[in-house]
Amino acid sequence: MGEFDFSVWQPSLPFIRDGLLFTLRLTLVAMSGGIVIGTLLALARLSPIAPLSRIAGAYVDLMRSIPLVLVILWFFLVIPFITGSPVGAETSAVITFTAFEAAFYCEIMRSGIQSVPRGQVDAAQALGLGQAQTMVHVILPQAVRNMIPVLLTQTIVLFQDTSLVYAIGAKDMLKAADVVGKNYNRPVEMIMLSALIYFAICFSLSLAVKQLQKRVAIIR
């Protein structure tokens, strides 16, 4: 057994807090952006306009078949060519995760929309609602409600995946733990601390999702 010195946890806390704040910000921005873009992608995939649905489908399949680390590296490389000037690792991470998660939220929203009974659409049209109104007022609210637990589970996965910004050196929680570990020459204790924090957050969130799942069960 090695000898551990956990006293390094105390001075590391301010750095861990700053890192965690970035991790949380990244998660929240990518989640909101991802859900909005993902829903638009899902609508495109389900649209009767063939080119639109094909483009959306190709984008989703592409994102889902490449390792996330590679997507992070791709965006970090390509974004400067599009914007014309170098962007920081943090900005690049936000753009990457929003674009990447959109593909996954799209699939969730698509199955959510498809899970709404056909009669709902018929009833909405019988009431005189237009296509867009039917989507916004009838289908989407039910689709989102049915999919809330799955959307949140995907967000827990996203929260864990943000640690991969390590590949481009963005300053998230893991990076903070890494830096403190190097400065105090206590890398082992700092890895254990970050593992504990990730576990505590993800485990309690997944318990909460399970509770929620029972309460928002599909009402038919």
Partner 1 sequence: MNYHWNWGIFLEQVKSGDETYVDWLVTGLGWTLAVSLTAWIIALSIGIAVGALRTTPSRLLVLLANAWVELFRNIPLLVQMFLWFFVVPEFLPRDWSLWVKQDMPAKEFVTAALCLGFFTSSRVAEQVRAGVGSLPRGQRDAALALGLTLPQAYRQVILPQALRIVIPPLTSEFMNVFKNSSVAFAIGVLELTFQARQMQEDSEQGIETYLAVTLLYFICAFTANRGMALIEARTRVPGLIARTG
Q: CB pairs under 8 A, 24+ apart, for 199-206?
A: 201/159, 202/156, 202/159, 202/160, 205/152, 205/156, 205/159, 206/153, 206/156
Query: 52, 198, 209, 213: which one contacts partner 1 (CB under 8 A)?
Result: 198
Q: For the CB of residue 190, give the shortest distance to partner 1 in the complex, in Å.
A: 9
Give Cβ neighbours of residue 163 (< 8 Å, ≥ 6 apart): 23, 172, 173, 174, 198
Size of interface with partner 1, in residues (CB under 8 A): 34
Q: Which two tokens stand for residue 188?
A: 């082992």
Q: Which of 99, 91, 49 shows the shortest CA–CA distance to 71?
A: 99
CA angle 98–103–108, rounded 5-degree value: 115
Q: At what angle do helices 89-114 and 140-161 cross, to 10 degrees?
A: 140
Q: Which of 9, 40, 91, 166 binds partner 1 (CB under 8 A)?
A: 166
Work out how close the CB of 204 gets to partner 1 at its nearest, in angstroms, rounded to a whole number: 9
Least distance to partner 1, CB of residue 219, Å: 24
Which of 37, 52, 202, 209 contacts partner 1 by CB under 8 A?
202
Of 189, 191, 159, 161, the closest CA to residue 174 belongs to 191
Out of 94, 113, 143, 174, the residue judged to bind partner 1 by CB under 8 A: 174
Judged by CB under 8 A, which stretch of 7-15, 115-123, 136-144, 198-206 contacts partner 1?
198-206
191 counts as binding partner 1 under rule CB under 8 A: yes
Stretch 79-138 residues interacting with partner 1 (CB under 8 A): 80-81, 84
- 78 near partner 1, judged by CB under 8 A: yes
- 6 scored as a contact of partner 1 (CB under 8 A): no
Residue 122, classed as helix, strand or coil, is: helix
CB nearer partner 1, residue 40 or residue 73: 73
SS3 of residue 102 by DSSP: helix
* Residues of the shown chain interacting with partner 1 in the complex, contacts defined by CB under 8 A: 1-2, 4, 65-70, 73-74, 77-78, 80-81, 84, 160-161, 163-164, 166-167, 174, 187-188, 191-192, 194-195, 198-199, 202-203, 206
